[in-house]
Chains A and B, each alone.
Chain A
Amino acid sequence: MSYAHPEVLVDTEWMSQNPPNENRKLVEVDYDPVNGYQKGHIKEASLIWWKRDINDPVTRDIISKRKFEELMSKNGIKADTEVILYGDFNNWFAAFVFWVFKIYGHENLKIMNGGRKKWELENREYTTEEPQIQQTKYVAQPPDEGLRAYLFDVSRALDKEDTVMVDVRSPAEFTGEITAPPEYPMEHAQRGGHIPGANNIPWGTAVNDADGTFKSVDDLKQNYEPKGVTPDKDVICYCRIGERSSHSWFVLKYLLGYPKVRNYDGSWTEWGNMIGNPVEK
Protein backbone atom coordinates (compact mmCIF):
# COMPACT_ATOMS: atom_id res chain seq x y z
CA MET A 1 0.00 0.00 0.00
CA SER A 2 1.38 3.41 -0.88
CA TYR A 3 1.21 6.69 0.98
CA ALA A 4 -1.96 8.75 0.63
CA HIS A 5 0.04 11.49 -1.14
CA PRO A 6 3.21 9.90 -2.52
CA GLU A 7 3.80 13.02 -4.60
CA VAL A 8 5.07 14.91 -1.52
CA LEU A 9 8.19 12.75 -1.17
CA VAL A 10 11.33 12.32 -3.22
CA ASP A 11 14.26 10.12 -2.26
CA THR A 12 17.95 10.97 -2.26
CA GLU A 13 18.62 8.98 -5.44
CA TRP A 14 15.88 10.84 -7.32
CA MET A 15 17.31 14.12 -6.05
CA SER A 16 20.77 13.30 -7.28
CA GLN A 17 19.35 12.43 -10.72
CA ASN A 18 17.03 15.43 -10.92
CA PRO A 19 18.97 18.54 -9.94
CA PRO A 20 17.34 21.92 -9.43
CA ASN A 21 16.51 24.02 -12.48
CA GLU A 22 14.41 27.05 -13.43
CA ASN A 23 11.20 25.37 -12.29
CA ARG A 24 12.54 23.14 -9.55
CA LYS A 25 14.14 24.67 -6.46
CA LEU A 26 15.92 22.84 -3.71
CA VAL A 27 15.89 24.44 -0.26
CA GLU A 28 17.81 23.31 2.80
CA VAL A 29 16.02 24.15 6.04
CA ASP A 30 18.28 24.25 9.07
CA TYR A 31 17.92 24.86 12.77
CA ASP A 32 21.70 25.22 12.93
CA PRO A 33 23.01 26.46 9.58
CA VAL A 34 26.50 27.07 10.97
CA ASN A 35 26.94 23.35 11.57
CA GLY A 36 24.77 22.42 8.58
CA TYR A 37 24.37 24.42 5.35
CA GLN A 38 27.52 26.48 5.82
CA LYS A 39 29.69 23.39 6.23
CA GLY A 40 28.20 21.86 3.09
CA HIS A 41 24.91 21.45 1.27
CA ILE A 42 23.51 19.83 -1.86
CA LYS A 43 24.54 21.66 -5.00
CA GLU A 44 22.22 24.54 -5.96
CA ALA A 45 20.33 24.38 -2.66
CA SER A 46 19.43 27.70 -1.07
CA LEU A 47 18.98 28.13 2.66
CA ILE A 48 16.02 28.83 4.89
CA TRP A 49 17.24 29.37 8.44
CA TRP A 50 14.33 28.37 10.66
CA LYS A 51 14.90 30.95 13.36
CA ARG A 52 15.79 33.88 11.12
CA ASP A 53 13.69 33.33 8.02
CA ILE A 54 10.42 31.59 8.88
CA ASN A 55 9.76 33.12 12.32
CA ASP A 56 8.79 36.69 13.03
CA PRO A 57 11.90 38.42 14.40
CA VAL A 58 10.07 40.12 17.28
CA THR A 59 6.80 38.41 18.18
CA ARG A 60 6.67 34.64 18.64
CA ASP A 61 4.84 33.72 15.46
CA ILE A 62 5.43 32.46 11.95
CA ILE A 63 6.21 35.14 9.37
CA SER A 64 3.42 37.17 7.82
CA LYS A 65 2.16 36.62 4.28
CA ARG A 66 4.17 39.61 3.08
CA LYS A 67 7.37 38.31 4.67
CA PHE A 68 6.68 34.87 3.24
CA GLU A 69 6.34 36.40 -0.24
CA GLU A 70 9.67 38.18 0.24
CA LEU A 71 11.31 34.95 1.38
CA MET A 72 10.01 33.09 -1.66
CA SER A 73 11.19 35.86 -3.98
CA LYS A 74 14.64 35.83 -2.37
CA ASN A 75 14.84 32.08 -2.91
CA GLY A 76 13.83 32.35 -6.57
CA ILE A 77 10.53 30.58 -6.03
CA LYS A 78 7.40 31.32 -8.05
CA ALA A 79 3.86 30.25 -7.18
CA ASP A 80 4.09 27.25 -9.55
CA THR A 81 7.69 26.26 -8.75
CA GLU A 82 8.32 22.69 -7.64
CA VAL A 83 10.05 23.09 -4.27
CA ILE A 84 11.95 20.30 -2.54
CA LEU A 85 12.80 20.76 1.14
CA TYR A 86 15.34 18.89 3.21
CA GLY A 87 17.35 19.70 6.28
CA ASP A 88 19.14 18.97 9.51
CA PHE A 89 17.69 17.37 12.66
CA ASN A 90 15.87 14.58 10.82
CA ASN A 91 13.93 17.03 8.62
CA TRP A 92 12.02 18.44 11.63
CA PHE A 93 12.51 22.01 10.53
CA ALA A 94 11.98 21.14 6.87
CA ALA A 95 8.60 19.74 7.96
CA PHE A 96 7.86 22.97 9.85
CA VAL A 97 8.65 24.99 6.75
CA PHE A 98 6.52 22.59 4.68
CA TRP A 99 3.68 23.40 7.07
CA VAL A 100 4.23 27.16 6.66
CA PHE A 101 4.38 26.80 2.85
CA LYS A 102 1.01 25.02 3.02
CA ILE A 103 -0.44 27.71 5.29
CA TYR A 104 0.38 30.21 2.54
CA GLY A 105 -0.95 27.92 -0.18
CA HIS A 106 2.13 26.69 -2.05
CA GLU A 107 1.00 23.66 -4.06
CA ASN A 108 3.98 21.94 -5.61
CA LEU A 109 5.96 21.00 -2.53
CA LYS A 110 7.99 17.93 -1.52
CA ILE A 111 10.31 16.68 1.16
CA MET A 112 13.49 14.74 0.46
CA ASN A 113 13.02 11.59 2.52
CA GLY A 114 15.72 11.19 5.16
CA GLY A 115 17.10 14.73 4.81
CA ARG A 116 20.74 15.50 5.48
CA LYS A 117 21.06 12.35 7.58
CA LYS A 118 20.40 9.96 4.68
CA TRP A 119 22.33 12.07 2.17
CA GLU A 120 25.38 11.90 4.43
CA LEU A 121 24.96 8.20 5.21
CA GLU A 122 25.16 7.59 1.48
CA ASN A 123 28.33 9.70 1.23
CA ARG A 124 26.77 11.93 -1.36
CA GLU A 125 28.40 15.13 -2.45
CA TYR A 126 28.11 18.52 -0.74
CA THR A 127 29.32 21.94 -1.79
CA THR A 128 29.90 25.17 0.11
CA GLU A 129 29.14 27.23 -2.99
CA GLU A 130 25.92 29.20 -2.74
CA PRO A 131 23.62 29.31 -5.77
CA GLN A 132 23.11 32.41 -7.88
CA ILE A 133 19.43 33.19 -7.47
CA GLN A 134 17.27 35.37 -9.66
CA GLN A 135 14.63 37.01 -7.51
CA THR A 136 10.98 36.43 -8.39
CA LYS A 137 7.68 38.10 -7.73
CA TYR A 138 5.73 35.74 -5.50
CA VAL A 139 2.10 36.15 -4.51
CA ALA A 140 0.98 33.91 -1.65
CA GLN A 141 -2.51 32.77 -0.72
CA PRO A 142 -4.28 34.06 2.39
CA PRO A 143 -3.20 31.97 5.42
CA ASP A 144 -5.02 28.65 5.82
CA GLU A 145 -5.66 28.78 9.56
CA GLY A 146 -7.23 25.32 9.41
CA LEU A 147 -3.75 23.82 9.55
CA ARG A 148 -2.84 25.53 12.79
CA ALA A 149 -4.04 25.05 16.35
CA TYR A 150 -3.83 27.90 18.83
CA LEU A 151 -3.92 27.80 22.61
CA PHE A 152 -7.63 28.54 22.45
CA ASP A 153 -8.27 25.56 20.17
CA VAL A 154 -6.35 23.23 22.48
CA SER A 155 -8.12 24.47 25.60
CA ARG A 156 -11.46 24.04 23.89
CA ALA A 157 -10.55 20.52 22.77
CA LEU A 158 -9.75 19.27 26.29
CA ASP A 159 -13.11 17.68 26.93
CA LYS A 160 -14.01 16.83 23.37
CA GLU A 161 -14.18 13.16 22.44
CA ASP A 162 -13.81 13.87 18.73
CA THR A 163 -10.48 15.66 19.11
CA VAL A 164 -7.33 13.73 19.87
CA MET A 165 -4.07 15.25 21.03
CA VAL A 166 -0.74 13.75 19.96
CA ASP A 167 2.27 14.65 22.07
CA VAL A 168 5.28 13.73 19.92
CA ARG A 169 7.95 14.48 22.54
CA SER A 170 10.10 11.90 24.28
CA PRO A 171 8.57 9.88 27.15
CA ALA A 172 10.79 11.81 29.62
CA GLU A 173 9.29 15.11 28.45
CA PHE A 174 5.77 13.65 28.43
CA THR A 175 5.99 12.50 32.04
CA GLY A 176 7.56 15.75 33.16
CA GLU A 177 10.88 14.22 34.15
CA ILE A 178 12.52 16.91 32.00
CA THR A 179 11.16 19.99 30.25
CA ALA A 180 13.96 20.15 27.68
CA PRO A 181 17.26 18.34 27.15
CA PRO A 182 20.38 20.16 28.42
CA GLU A 183 21.37 20.90 24.81
CA TYR A 184 18.44 23.34 24.53
CA PRO A 185 18.55 25.56 27.61
CA MET A 186 16.38 28.17 25.90
CA GLU A 187 13.42 25.83 25.48
CA HIS A 188 12.36 25.12 29.02
CA ALA A 189 8.90 25.64 30.52
CA GLN A 190 7.89 26.41 34.08
CA ARG A 191 6.02 23.12 34.39
CA GLY A 192 6.75 19.61 33.16
CA GLY A 193 4.16 17.11 32.00
CA HIS A 194 1.64 17.04 29.18
CA ILE A 195 -1.72 18.36 28.09
CA PRO A 196 -4.43 16.29 29.84
CA GLY A 197 -5.61 13.39 27.73
CA ALA A 198 -2.77 13.61 25.20
CA ASN A 199 -1.29 10.45 23.68
CA ASN A 200 2.47 10.11 23.72
CA ILE A 201 3.54 8.99 20.25
CA PRO A 202 7.11 10.27 19.82
CA TRP A 203 7.96 11.64 16.36
CA GLY A 204 10.73 9.05 16.00
CA THR A 205 8.25 6.18 15.97
CA ALA A 206 7.27 7.30 12.45
CA VAL A 207 10.73 6.89 10.95
CA ASN A 208 13.26 4.13 10.39
CA ASP A 209 16.14 4.44 12.84
CA ALA A 210 18.77 3.54 10.29
CA ASP A 211 18.33 6.42 7.86
CA GLY A 212 15.51 8.65 9.11
CA THR A 213 13.15 7.77 6.23
CA PHE A 214 9.46 7.40 6.89
CA LYS A 215 8.05 4.01 7.81
CA SER A 216 5.62 2.14 5.56
CA VAL A 217 1.89 2.89 5.58
CA ASP A 218 1.12 -0.32 7.46
CA ASP A 219 3.70 0.45 10.14
CA LEU A 220 2.45 4.03 10.44
CA LYS A 221 -1.15 2.90 10.82
CA GLN A 222 -0.05 0.47 13.50
CA ASN A 223 1.74 3.33 15.21
CA TYR A 224 -1.28 5.62 15.50
CA GLU A 225 -4.57 3.73 15.22
CA PRO A 226 -4.29 1.51 18.33
CA LYS A 227 -3.88 4.71 20.37
CA GLY A 228 -7.10 6.17 19.04
CA VAL A 229 -5.45 8.50 16.54
CA THR A 230 -7.75 7.65 13.66
CA PRO A 231 -8.84 9.49 10.49
CA ASP A 232 -12.33 10.16 11.86
CA LYS A 233 -10.88 12.43 14.57
CA ASP A 234 -9.79 16.04 14.67
CA VAL A 235 -6.06 15.59 15.40
CA ILE A 236 -3.81 18.15 17.08
CA CYS A 237 -0.04 17.50 17.23
CA TYR A 238 2.32 19.28 19.58
CA CYS A 239 5.86 19.03 20.95
CA ARG A 240 8.06 21.67 22.58
CA ILE A 241 8.36 24.41 19.95
CA GLY A 242 6.28 22.94 17.13
CA GLU A 243 8.95 21.51 14.84
CA ARG A 244 8.82 17.80 15.75
CA SER A 245 5.03 18.04 15.76
CA SER A 246 5.04 19.40 12.22
CA HIS A 247 6.97 16.25 11.26
CA SER A 248 4.17 14.10 12.72
CA TRP A 249 1.59 16.48 11.22
CA PHE A 250 3.17 15.76 7.82
CA VAL A 251 3.00 12.00 8.44
CA LEU A 252 -0.64 12.01 9.48
CA LYS A 253 -1.86 14.46 6.85
CA TYR A 254 0.18 13.54 3.79
CA LEU A 255 1.41 9.99 4.29
CA LEU A 256 -1.71 8.59 5.96
CA GLY A 257 -4.13 11.11 4.45
CA TYR A 258 -6.01 12.10 7.62
CA PRO A 259 -8.49 14.83 6.66
CA LYS A 260 -8.18 17.04 9.77
CA VAL A 261 -4.76 17.47 11.37
CA ARG A 262 -3.45 20.65 12.95
CA ASN A 263 -0.07 21.61 14.31
CA TYR A 264 -0.06 23.39 17.67
CA ASP A 265 3.19 25.33 17.21
CA GLY A 266 2.86 27.10 20.57
CA SER A 267 3.35 23.60 21.97
CA TRP A 268 4.77 22.91 25.43
CA THR A 269 6.77 26.14 25.65
CA GLU A 270 3.42 27.91 25.52
CA TRP A 271 1.17 25.45 27.39
CA GLY A 272 3.65 24.67 30.17
CA ASN A 273 4.34 28.34 30.85
CA MET A 274 0.77 29.65 31.03
CA ILE A 275 -0.64 30.32 34.48
CA GLY A 276 -3.61 28.10 35.27
CA ASN A 277 -3.28 25.67 32.38
CA PRO A 278 -4.11 22.11 33.46
CA VAL A 279 -1.15 19.73 33.37
CA GLU A 280 -1.08 15.95 33.58
CA LYS A 281 2.01 13.96 34.52
Chain B
Amino acid sequence: MEDKTKRGLTVKETSIDEKLKVKADKGMIHDMDGIGHWVPIRWYFSKNQFDLEKVSQYAQEMEKKYAELRELTCPDDD
Protein backbone atom coordinates (compact mmCIF):
# COMPACT_ATOMS: atom_id res chain seq x y z
CA MET B 1 0.00 0.00 0.00
CA GLU B 2 1.34 3.43 -0.90
CA ASP B 3 0.48 6.95 0.27
CA LYS B 4 0.48 8.87 -3.02
CA THR B 5 0.54 12.22 -1.19
CA LYS B 6 4.12 11.35 -0.21
CA ARG B 7 5.27 10.97 -3.81
CA GLY B 8 8.80 12.16 -4.46
CA LEU B 9 9.78 11.93 -0.81
CA THR B 10 13.17 10.30 -0.33
CA VAL B 11 13.09 6.98 1.49
CA LYS B 12 15.42 7.40 4.45
CA GLU B 13 14.79 4.15 6.24
CA THR B 14 12.70 0.98 6.17
CA SER B 15 11.37 -0.09 9.55
CA ILE B 16 8.22 -1.20 11.33
CA ASP B 17 5.33 1.27 11.27
CA GLU B 18 4.18 1.25 14.87
CA LYS B 19 0.59 2.04 13.94
CA LEU B 20 -0.01 -0.77 11.43
CA LYS B 21 2.76 -3.05 12.72
CA VAL B 22 4.15 -3.76 9.26
CA LYS B 23 7.42 -2.98 7.52
CA ALA B 24 7.29 0.43 5.85
CA ASP B 25 9.49 2.76 3.81
CA LYS B 26 9.76 6.03 5.68
CA GLY B 27 10.78 9.56 4.82
CA MET B 28 10.95 12.81 6.74
CA ILE B 29 8.79 15.90 6.37
CA HIS B 30 9.71 19.16 8.04
CA ASP B 31 6.94 21.25 9.57
CA MET B 32 6.58 25.03 9.85
CA ASP B 33 9.07 25.06 12.74
CA GLY B 34 11.64 22.99 10.86
CA ILE B 35 11.07 19.90 12.95
CA GLY B 36 11.39 16.68 10.97
CA HIS B 37 8.69 14.03 11.34
CA TRP B 38 9.03 10.45 10.14
CA VAL B 39 6.21 9.52 7.80
CA PRO B 40 5.45 6.16 6.16
CA ILE B 41 5.46 6.28 2.35
CA ARG B 42 4.59 2.65 1.51
CA TRP B 43 3.74 -0.40 3.57
CA TYR B 44 4.65 -4.03 2.83
CA PHE B 45 1.79 -6.26 3.94
CA SER B 46 2.65 -9.92 4.04
CA LYS B 47 0.15 -12.12 2.21
CA ASN B 48 0.47 -14.64 5.01
CA GLN B 49 -0.77 -12.22 7.64
CA PHE B 50 -3.09 -9.84 5.79
CA ASP B 51 -5.85 -10.46 3.28
CA LEU B 52 -6.83 -7.92 0.62
CA GLU B 53 -9.93 -6.91 2.57
CA LYS B 54 -7.85 -5.84 5.58
CA VAL B 55 -5.42 -3.86 3.44
CA SER B 56 -8.34 -2.20 1.63
CA GLN B 57 -9.72 -1.17 5.00
CA TYR B 58 -6.43 0.57 5.86
CA ALA B 59 -6.44 2.25 2.43
CA GLN B 60 -10.00 3.50 2.97
CA GLU B 61 -9.08 4.87 6.38
CA MET B 62 -6.20 6.77 4.79
CA GLU B 63 -8.48 8.09 2.05
CA LYS B 64 -10.99 9.21 4.70
CA LYS B 65 -8.27 11.05 6.61
CA TYR B 66 -7.22 13.00 3.51
CA ALA B 67 -10.85 13.70 2.55
CA GLU B 68 -11.39 15.24 6.00
CA LEU B 69 -8.24 17.32 5.62
CA ARG B 70 -9.38 18.58 2.22
CA GLU B 71 -12.77 19.45 3.68
CA LEU B 72 -11.07 21.39 6.48
CA THR B 73 -8.90 23.49 4.16
CA CYS B 74 -10.96 23.68 0.96
CA PRO B 75 -14.57 22.81 1.82
CA ASP B 76 -16.92 22.17 -1.07
CA ASP B 77 -19.44 24.95 -1.57
CA ASP B 78 -22.28 22.48 -1.66
Question: Which residues on A are within 8 Å of B, measured CB to CB?
Answer: 30-35, 49-52, 181-186
> Looking at B6, B10, B36, which has the most chain A CB atoms within 10 Å of its CB?
B36
A31 to B32, CA, bound (A): 10
Q: Would A186 and B6 count as touching, CB distance under 8 A?
A: no
Majority SS at the chain A contact face: loop
A186 to B37, CA, bound (A): 13
Q: Would A186 and B9 count as touching, CB distance under 8 A?
A: no
Q: Would B30 and A32 count as touching, CB distance under 8 A?
A: yes
Q: Would B33 and A182 count as touching, CB distance under 8 A?
A: no
Q: Which of A35, A49, A182 contacts B9 (CB 8 A)?
A: A182
A162 to B40, CA, bound (A): 49
Residues from chain A with Cβ under 8 Å of B8 in the complex: 181-182
Q: Would B30 and A183 count as touching, CB distance under 8 A?
A: yes
Residue of A nearest to B12 (CB): A183
Given contacts A182-B6, A183-B9, are A51 and B33 in contact (CB under 8 A)? yes
Q: Would A34 and B36 count as touching, CB distance under 8 A?
A: yes
Q: Would B28 and A183 count as touching, CB distance under 8 A?
A: yes
Given contacts A182-B7, A183-B9, are A52 and B33 in contact (CB under 8 A)? yes
Q: Would A183 and B33 count as touching, CB distance under 8 A?
A: no
Q: Which of A50, A181, A182 contacts B34 (CB 8 A)?
A: A50
Residues from chain B with Cβ under 8 Å of A184 in the complex: 29-30
Residues from chain B with Cβ under 8 Å of A186 in the complex: 30-32
Residues from chain A with Cβ under 8 Å of B36 in the complex: 32, 34-35, 183
Q: Would B9 and A32 count as touching, CB distance under 8 A?
A: no
The 4 tightest CB contacts between A and B, nearest first, are A182-B8, A31-B34, A182-B9, A51-B34
Residues from chain A with Cβ under 8 Å of B32 in the complex: 51, 186
A50 to B31, CA, bound (A): 13
Residues from chain B with Cβ under 8 Å of A32 in the complex: 30, 34-36
> Looking at B30, B31, B34, which has the most chain A CB atoms within 10 Å of its CB?
B34
A144 to B35, CA, bound (A): 30
Q: Would A183 and B34 count as touching, CB distance under 8 A?
A: no
A58 to B6, CA, bound (A): 29
Taking the closest CB of chain B, its distance from the CB of A127, in whole angstroms, is 21
Residue of B nearest to A178 (CB): B8
User: 24 A-B pairs, CB-CB below 8 angstroms?
Assistant: A30-B34, A31-B30, A32-B30, A32-B36, A34-B36, A35-B35, A49-B34, A50-B34, A51-B32, A52-B33, A181-B8, A182-B8, A182-B9, A182-B10, A182-B27, A182-B29, A183-B27, A183-B28, A183-B30, A184-B29, A184-B30, A185-B29, A186-B30, A186-B32
A33 to B31, CA, bound (A): 12
Taking the closest CB of chain B, its distance from the CB of A229, in whole angstroms, is 29
Taking the closest CB of chain A, its distance from the CB of B30, in whole angstroms, is 6
